[in-house]
A and B are shown apart, each in its own frame.
Chain A
């Protein structure tokens, strides 16, 4: 570049000097400077001085060579020079333009490269996003499938008519536990001393000797936000730590309130020993709410059923009681009339004997009537006994195990309400005996009812009734053992007496009737207190060998 400027300076100097030479010959040294400068010019500019001599002294050579030309074609040289200058200027301008466009071009190339890089970046990130998105969709798909199968399970469980209420709850909970993949799950009541309604765990020891919800502090929170599930992936971080179940400590937690009749009555919990990486998705939360709703409606349904059953049994009991009350009142009146008569006549006779002079005729009449009254009373009692005996139907072959199973089934609602465990130890070798099945059922029913009532004050986990049957030579025995208060020591001999009762609303007829029934079957009935707690009621009936084929 520098040469171009140099050249553009040199050319007018040469021109100027040539013109001067042409007029008044300049000293040589001055010219040589300009020539010297001209010699440094690039080869590309040889056009301007195309004719260069190879003589030993180029300066003087050039001068000698140029001088005649200038002198000869002075104006032409100038024209050529001017043209040369124009050309030079043109070349220079073009060159400048070229460099400028070259610069532009390189700039553009850089930009282009940058754009390409950005584009490549975009492409890469786009691919990544596509992959991510696909993964997301896959995950959503998976979770959808998971929830779909869980939902199907839930529907199957709730709509299954064969499953009992407890089974349904257990299965619902198990489905939930599988869905959330936790070690333990529970439904517990918020009342009744935090009674646990249902619990499932992959390790039983998680719940050993532990009552109530999995984490009481968390439950409070879950209830406070009862429309939203409480999801804590790491209990340690959030200071929710609470002595967990059994020997293990729970570290992750998920819970929601179960609404019954619009109010939180139970809490549904899932917990694990392992911490989770993060919270569950909102899908999972929705699923949990759904599950809680289903469990709530299931419990509500069951409560309605139990209420109905309770009402029915209560109604039956009341009508039985009132029928009995009526009968007793009627009987009292029936018996009282002749008895009053007999007593009146007897006491009147006594008075006459004491205070009046003895009138044989009158006394005889009085005493005769007294006897008449007493006989009438006796007749009424005999009629009553015959009436009771009328209920005695023919004996038929009966398996006592079947009787037990039937009654336990009949009382299942009552047993559940009393939160009592019934253990059956029925012997296989019990022969069929000749008996009145309905009457035996009544005896077993009385035994179990008494046991249930006797354990009213017993701690719930200790409430148990053990029903045993056994064959001893030719006798069939049945024991009903409970862990309640037992028979008061002072009244041990009176339990089978009529009108003996420890219940505020009892008639005291149950065991008395039971004794009558067993005695009618040639059997014996016994009531004992257990060595430790509770009582054991039993009867034995001779097995009629003729029936057993």
Chain B
């Protein structure tokens, strides 16, 4: 099973913007998506392997937090609108297309309409001087 997580291209600037709003231009927006792709995440990924039909979930301000100085966290839930195989999730800059910041591949889920998956994604930066 090719599980794993990657902070993908542009993710560093994205993460730094979360921890120091002075570096951000404008107000960033975040959307959570899921899909059925199972390929191992790589830094060069720009999209999910196979995004499912459900609309991306807008991650509102209250569902984003900074639990530690070097850590950012996003929480979002997606509800299946039909029978779905779900094996990946990602955080994007827009409700369609946009920039993908993080991609995570997890164990395969066989979902039916009405099933809900709530994701909590934590990104912890590591100081290279440590």
The answer to whether A and B belong to the same complex is no
The chain A residues found within 8 Å of chain B, CB to CB, are: none
The chain B residues found within 8 Å of chain A, CB to CB, are: none
